[in-house]
Amino acid sequence: MREEVAANLKLWDGWTDIHMTGEFYDVEGFVADPTSRPFDWVTRGVLGDVTGKRLLHLQSHIGIDTLGLALAGAVNVMGVDFSPRAVAAAQSIARRLNLPVQFVQADVTDLPDTVPEAAFDIVFTSHGTIMWLPELEGWARMIASRLAPGGVFHIIDAHPFLALFDDSCEEPPLKVGYPYFSREPLYFQEHGSYADRTADFVADSYFWQHTLSEIVGALLGAGLRIQQLSEYPVVAWKVLEFMEQDDDGLWRMPPGTGDIPLMFSLSASRP
């Protein structure tokens, strides 16, 4: 495993412990009432009806969305995450809800045989995913190999253009802080977690910028056909300090601060 990915793994193991108890994921609330965390309108629109669909969820973290998809009617649901602590946490929540969802610990760019090939109608990943991956060719190959013929991959994530802007700015105007085309990882020292900035935790993190053409190119290169590509003026988490949350739970730029794409979705099918 490359050094930066190993550092990220340590980070995610640590963050998992914070996320299991904090308000952000509200695990106890979810276990008490799994309908308390409905999917946002973009996710619902992109995924459509998942009833009866065999579903693989990549980078499943503590499994809240994975379990939500099983509750929405998906079958043979499997979540994959490289963090052993996240997988253990997801398994414990699945047990408490008595849901037959399998969680596998693996790097999404190198899936093991326990994630069967050509076995899924839907492969899904969302909200904070490919920024953790150094390259997308292996990722796309894994996705294509796990889709059944006619199956569809969906990704919903922060727009690569948004990743250019300095997220340490507390106020407008937008300031370009990061490169678009660089393949080198960006290094940060994380204090607390995105879910709880006050948590007593410090760790290194490495992000990779992936351009829109790199994402599309990797999926086309793996033999998938692009079905749709959409851009949105909303994003699922507060990427910039001065974003405002709407009634739909998604975050927007305040009026006059920049009419820029904040999120994208892409669906690609296996012929």
Ligand X SMILES: C[S@@+](CC[C@H](N)C(=O)[O-])C[C@H]1O[C@@H](n2cnc3c(N)ncnc32)[C@H](O)[C@@H]1O
The nearer residue to ligand X, 128 or 172, going by C-beta atoms, is 128
Q: Give the Cα separation of 157 and 25 in Å (integer).
A: 18
Question: Which stretch, 58-66, 145-153, 209-217, 246-254, contacts ligand X (CB under 6 A)?
Answer: 58-66
Residue 133 in contact with ligand X, rule: CB under 6 A: yes
What are the helix and strand counts (H, E) for the chain? 7, 11
- Nearest distance from residue 134's CB to ligand X, in Å? 8
The nearer residue to ligand X, 86 or 266, going by C-beta atoms, is 86
Residue 265 in contact with ligand X, rule: CB under 6 A: no
> Amino acid identity of 96?
R
Residue 128 in contact with ligand X, rule: CB under 6 A: yes
Residue 65 in contact with ligand X, rule: CB under 6 A: yes
Q: Give the Cα separation of 127 and 86 in Å (integer).
A: 16
Determine how many CB atoms are found less than 10 A away from the CB of residue 212.
16
Residue 208 in contact with ligand X, rule: CB under 6 A: no
Among 39, 82, 120, 206, binds ligand X (CB under 6 A): 82
> Amino acid identity of 212?
L
> Amino acid identity of 178?
Y
Q: Give the Cα separation of 44 and 222 in Å (integer).
A: 26
Q: Give the Cα separation of 130 and 244 in Å (integer).
A: 24
84-113: contacts with ligand X (CB under 6 A): 86, 107-108
Residue 236 in contact with ligand X, rule: CB under 6 A: no
Strands 147-158 and 263-269 turn out to be antiparallel
Among 132, 153, 208, 264, binds ligand X (CB under 6 A): 132
Determine how many CB atoms are found less than 10 A away from the CB of residue 11.
21
Q: How many residues bind ligand X (CB under 6 A)?
A: 20
| Interacting residue ranges for ligand X, rule: CB under 6 A | 5, 8, 12, 59-61, 64-65, 81-83, 86, 107-108, 126-129, 132-133
